[in-house]
Chain A
């Protein structure tokens, strides 16, 4: 069984991107550099740079997420 990658640095960076507009702007200009600076491992950077939403969701561990509170039609 493959070991689960440690995504702490990546997840921490994503949270900061949502909090710091300047960092988000820097990321928009040079995502690779910002990720390197935040200590994200190169393999994970490659996944993000691939743009594949499916692979990125897998890397982040979102695959198992129902992710939405679905309202039933009538309760």
Chain B
């Protein structure tokens, strides 16, 4: 038996359709595949790609601390690596975006002297750039985990798009519950009102992971956030407010004016 290794692959948002060639080949060629998919359809698909596939879903518990679950996921995968197996961890979306366990598995494997790497994929924000027609190059994009945004002193730049992840869990601090605290949306709206008027436009986005379902794109006013359904998969996007302000000092250092930036003259 050779020396064990682990490759964490990303399967993308749309099951079966978003995966890259090298991620799919890694799944096929692994001795054992562990996964966290967004649907049982994803599990069936992985079963077809590699019969030695096991879901990690069973490690979740209703009142279990999520870090316990994630540590167990890492340990389950590492046990096979230590046996000398070629292990693949397949995670939906981008395996390294809003996912602690995949990163930790790589850290642990490398620390123990095993080969380990992660392959990228399509995450929810990549999908929403396409579905909502947002180009991060236009005015910039800020992104925060919604609860962390409230609990810590992040600063918003209203001129850019702002993405708030996990809005459906806003204010959930125990890491044991999957329910949204009742006060969460109102506290968020109040907090955001220091940068935005209540009638400012926001979008609620839920990427369809199965092609038989529709992607949710719901445009509402900020103040109406308290009246809408929020789910675990809801991402909130705040439209830019105002125009980019030139940094005259830096422009001066280049010996140019704002008018000269990107000018055809």
Residue-wise interface mask of A (14-50) relative to B, using a CB-CB cutoff of 8 A (1 in contact, 0 not): 1111110000100100000000000000000000100
Whether the Cβ atoms of B212 and A17 lie closer than 8 Å is yes
Residue-wise interface mask of B (37-55) relative to A, using a CB-CB cutoff of 8 A (1 in contact, 0 not): 1111100110010000000
Contact of A11 among B41, B100, B151, B211 (CB under 8 A): B41
Residue-wise interface mask of A (58-75) relative to B, using a CB-CB cutoff of 8 A (1 in contact, 0 not): 001110111111111111
> B101 at the A/B interface (Cβ < 8 Å)?
yes
Interface residue count for B (Cβ, 8 Å)?
42
Whether the Cβ atoms of A68 and B38 lie closer than 8 Å is yes
Whether the Cβ atoms of B166 and A14 lie closer than 8 Å is no
Whether the Cβ atoms of B100 and A72 lie closer than 8 Å is yes
Interface residues of B in 77-117 (CB under 8 A from A): 91-93, 98-101
Secondary structure class of chain B's binding surface, majority of residues = loop
Whether the Cβ atoms of B44 and A11 lie closer than 8 Å is yes
Measured between alpha carbons, how far is A74 from B151 in the docked complex, in Å? 10
Task: List the one stretch of B14-22, B133-141, B196-204, B253-261 in contact with chain A.
Answer: B14-22
Whether the Cβ atoms of B17 and A19 lie closer than 8 Å is yes
> B148 at the A/B interface (Cβ < 8 Å)?
yes
Whether the Cβ atoms of A19 and B173 lie closer than 8 Å is no
Report A-chain residues with C-beta under 8 Å of the C-beta of B212: 14, 17, 27, 48, 56
Whether the Cβ atoms of A24 and B211 lie closer than 8 Å is yes
Contact of B36 among A27, A60, A69 (CB under 8 A): A69
Q: A8-B44, A11-B45, A74-B148 are in contact. List 8 more A-B contacts (CB 8 A).
A: A11-B44, A14-B16, A18-B211, A60-B210, A67-B38, A67-B233, A71-B99, A71-B100
